[in-house]
Structure 1
Amino acid sequence: MNTSYEEKTFENYFNAELGNLSSVYFPLGQTQEGVIGADSVAYSKNRQLWKMFGYPWFWFQPPYRGRNLQDIAQEMEYHTKASIHNIPKIKTNLLFQYKRSEYLILPSSGQWSHWKQPYFRYEIYPKQQKLLEHLEGQFGQQALVLYAAPAIKNVEELVEASMKKQIIEKTNFQKVSNLSGHHKNTFVQAGTISKAFSQPEKIENVDLLKTLNNIDGQDFSFDKLTSFTSTVNEVMRESNEYNRSFNLLMEQYSNLQEYRTFYGLMQMKVFKELTGIQWSMSFEY
């Protein structure tokens, strides 16, 4: 069944919270949105906000440093051969495309077998997706491009979430690149976990603990320490949740890469800071 509220209502509530969590934000007009591909943009260093996007911790700067919105608009004008006006000269590191979801409650629903419980679903439109993919391809190292869909069933729940300032907290987010080649995205709750279709694909982060538990820790040596930290490095850089923050934090140690063991210990330091996972090593003589 369709949720009993308009996408614009959700968008307005979302933007109201976004404005309070950002140094600047700008809701794009219909023509501007049609060229750029996003509904609104913002620049934020708010750690709690970034945590909701799957980036739980960062150093002095957010995971994405930002880009001038006029530069983004100019690139998208060139890409679409269209013209847009009244774009402010502001820095942005977040771009959102809002979606209103259906809430599906019947076992006969198309993706029920993948969730086995009521779930939310929204359409991914090819033309819009291509615009967003180009946007992410050009500026994805500087600004995060996200679909944002409420995990909210009805208008009463929507209004209550707005009054409690929980709209963003009750939203499901997914990176544009994760939905490439799909026509629908589904989820059961707020956060960053969803399953995209045409072909079933569960989008989730690397299971860090499972991967690390499979690493042989017998007869630990400095060579095995280096091998271990290299594996952790690969896991973190493959993780949708941690890779940006991990890369950013490791930049401060780039001059230590020739000292393999010490650099490996710095990798483990950053790993612990980001994940909270404690690690230890022991040597037998």
Structure 2
Amino acid sequence: MKTLKALFKEQYNPENFFLIAGPCVIEDEDLVMGIAEKVSAICKRLNIPYVFKASYRKANRTSINSFTGIGDVEGLDLLQKVGQTFNLPVTSDIHSAAEAAMAAAYVDVLQIPAFLCRQTDILLAAADTGKFVNVKKGQFASGEAMKFAVEKIEQAGNKHVMLTERGTTFGYQDLVVDYRNIPIMKEMGVPVIMDCTHSLQQPNQTSGVTGGNPKMIGTIAKAAIATGANGLFIETHPEPAKAKSDGANVLRLDLLEPLLEELVRIREAVYVKA
């Protein structure tokens, strides 16, 4: 896709999936630089285009006591440093229209959280920056309904749109993945990404901390590649038990490389050249 070529430039590889990966939130410089260095090296070896991801601020937390970040400017500075140091595109989520221009000065892709995928003012503000905009499908939305988010951004003059499947609410404390949404959203002419970690969240826990099922990350990822996902979103941390956000559903960093090796083989088996 021409939009992906513009994002990845010399790293563009139409015969492979791309990866968006990193810690859920920026905790400190050592963490983000260490993860970026390791994942970048793995992706170069496997010829996987790579976008580094970390939130500079977490606005949607279950508890008032949950960690939200080290400061907006401090977090964005670190994201920019990662991109410059490792020659990577970087992404982070925004939570209001006012954040779009600020974040766009530091990142290559603006991520719209699932809960906000219908918020017109945020979508238009993100579109106006000219940056790539990755909209996560709401847990309450169908794949078909995401055409309206795409239309809002494209009609604002920005053709750099991506959509991410991240599961559908099932009861109060679980999510399920409907893989029909991948080909459905691809029909809109945009790259489609599978969020392999947030789709395994178990929200609304009475403890005030979101649960998860990280043992199923590989299953989610393999099925996504088999059903045609253009990219994968995987949050990772060297010590999930010590992560300050989403530790219950991130992939332990040392497990990422063998999983990606397996996924590359699956991609090779199912890929059909245009």
User: How does the TM-score come out when normalised to structure 1?
Assistant: 0.24
Larger Rg: 1
**TM-score relative to the length of structure 2:** 0.24
